Amino acid sequence: MPDAAKDRIAASMTMCRRAGKLLLGFDPVKEAAQQGHVCCILLAADVSPKTEKETHFFAGEIPVRKLPYDMDALTAYFRKRTAVFGVCEQGFAAKLLTLLPPQSAEECE
C-alpha cells in the first residue's frame, strides 16, 4: 500500500478518535457492535488469528478490514496497545472502507 494511502488512513482514524467515534479494544468494540453502534471494525495487521476469528464471528454484517499497521505503530498513534478498533460514525466508516480493500476469503480464515 502506498505511503500516501496509509497516511490518509491514519489521518481519518485520528480525526475519528478526536471526534469520540473510535472505540479501542476488543471488549468495548464487541459490546458496541452487539448494541448496533459500530459501523465498521478495523484490525491491526498483526492481530492474533483467535481475535480475528472472534471478531468476524460477532461482527455479523458489520464490515471488518485489516489495517496496514501493526499494533506497535497503532500504539504510537493512539497511546493504547490494541488490535481491534470500532468506528461508530457512518461518515468516518465510509471513508475508511474506501481506503481499505476488502479481505479475500483466504485472509478471513
Q: What is the model's pLDDT at position 29?
A: 96
Percent of the chain beyond pLDDT 90? 81
- pLDDT tens digits for range 48-65: 999 999 999 999 999 999
CA distance 92 to 100: 12
Q: What is the model's pLDDT at position 3?
A: 81
Amino acid at 52: E
Q: Is 76 left (phi over 0), alpha (psi -120 to 50) or beta?
A: alpha
Q: Which pTM does this prediction carry? A: 0.89
Nearest CA to 109 out of 64, 74, 61 is that of 64
Contact of 45 with 82, CB cutoff 8 Å: no
Q: What is the model's pLDDT at position 103?
A: 67
Instruction: Count other Cβ atoms within 10 Å, centred on residue 33.
Output: 21
Amino acid at 91: G
- pLDDT tens digits for range 14-26: 999 999 999 999 9
